[in-house]
Amino acid sequence: MMNNLSILFSCFMIALVNANPALEEIPLHCPSEGVYGYPHPKSCDEYFQCTNGTMSHEFCPNGLLFSQTGHVVGMCAYYWNVDCGDKTVPKPMSSPGCPYQFGFFAEDDRQPCNVFYSECAWGVPQRKQCEPYGLFYDERIKGCNWPDQVGCSSESLLQFKCPDDDHSNRFWPYPRYWYNQQAIITCVSGQPRLIQCGENSFVDANSLSCVEQPKADERLRPKIGGHGRHF
Ligand SMILES: *[C@@H]1O[C@H](CO)[C@@H](O)[C@H](O)[C@H]1NC(C)=O
């Protein structure tokens, strides 16, 4: 009876030690099949990977950090999508056009209104333009956003100036205007937003909204529209 109790007690102690999450996170033996990632206890850009039973110590490229989701390279995601807690985070490693080796960055961060941004991979920038037309790069969301949200003016970009206080517009306080067959303009805080109709839809001049139309005439096919993009 006494023996059984002490065995029970020992098991209980082992269970307590195993409950320590730091010990549990990285297994002593990899599962024999599949690919699994385990966070490094101290460093946010390092991790351990089990690949079909074999463990390896991996490092994320600069600008990426270990994550279970949103992978860009290996098991690494963009740094702004990863919460590191109090783990160490590597310093930026810049190269011409790229503050980090990986990420999205305003083309010219000395001026606030960028239509262009750089998509960096392995330290090489690729020049990208915000789409659809009329959006500006917004560093806070690492993506493109409406001009009024970024504090920029799209008047010259869209060649359109919102009329002052157009209360007679039936869409007030967000007055709408005809732009072309595939797009309307709506004014928000005095700044024009270009709203493009989706594929196979066109602006109906009476309702000033997009209406679906069968693709009868290929020449009139509009570009695919969209909204602010996040990455
Ligand atoms: C792991 O093993 C499976 C089954 O044998 C195989 O199909 C797969 O390619 C392997 N994966 C890697 C990353 O080696």
Distance 52 CA to ligand 1 centre (A): 6
Which protein residue's CA is at the shortest distance from atom 11 of ligand 1? 52
User: Is ligand 1 within 6 A of the CB of residue 180?
Assistant: no
Report strand pairing: 54-59 vs 46-51. antiparallel
Distance 35 CA to ligand 1 centre (A): 9
What is the spatial distance between Cα 170 and Cα 199, in angstroms, rounded to a whole number? 26
For residues 81 and 65, what is the distance between their CA atoms, to the nearest angstrom?
9
Is the C-beta atom of 35 inside 6 A of ligand 1? Answer: yes
| Rounded distance from Cα 61 to ligand 1 centre (Å) | 24
pTM: 0.70
Give me the phi and psi of 220, to 5 degrees please.
-90, 5
Per residue in 63-96, pLDDT tens?
A: 999 999 999 999 999 999 999 999 999 999 999 9
Mean pLDDT of the chain: 84
Q: Is the CB of 32 under 6 A from ligand 1?
A: no
Q: Give the pLDDT confidence score for residue 119 in this predicted structure.
A: 97
Average pLDDT, stretch 86-107? 96
Q: Are 74 and 112 in contact (CB under 8 A)?
A: no
Whether 224 has a pLDDT exceeding 80, the answer reads no
Q: Does ligand 1 come within 6 angstroms of the Cβ of 33?
A: yes
Q: How far is the CA of 34 from the centre of ligand 1 (A)?
A: 7
Asked whether residue 21 carries a pLDDT value surpassing 70, the answer given is no
Q: Please, are residues 86 and 116 in contact by the beta-carbon 8 Å criterion?
A: no
Q: Which atom of ligand 1 is nearest to the CA of 52?
A: 1
pLDDT in tens, 168-189: 999 999 999 999 999 999 999 8
Which tokens hold the place of 71? 């992978």
Residue type, 210: C
Q: What pLDDT band is residue 18 in, cutting at 50, 70 and 90? A: very low
The rounded Å distance from CA 186 to ligand 1 centre is 53
Expressed in angstroms and rounded, the spacing between residue 33 Cα and the centre of ligand 1 is 7
Q: How many CB atoms lie within 10 A of CB 219?
A: 4
Q: Whose CA is nearest to atom 4 of ligand 1?
A: 33
Question: Which of 70-73's residues contact partners 24+ apart within 8 Å by CB, and which partners?
Answer: 72/102, 73/102
Whether 31 lines ligand 1, by a CB cut-off of 6 Å, is no
54-59 β-sheet, strand order: 35-39, 46-51, 54-59
Pocket perturbation via mutation, ligand 1, pick of 33, 50, 51, 52 by most ligand atoms within 8 A of CB: 52
Which residues, in sequence order, are CB contacts of 16 under 8 Å at separation 6+? none
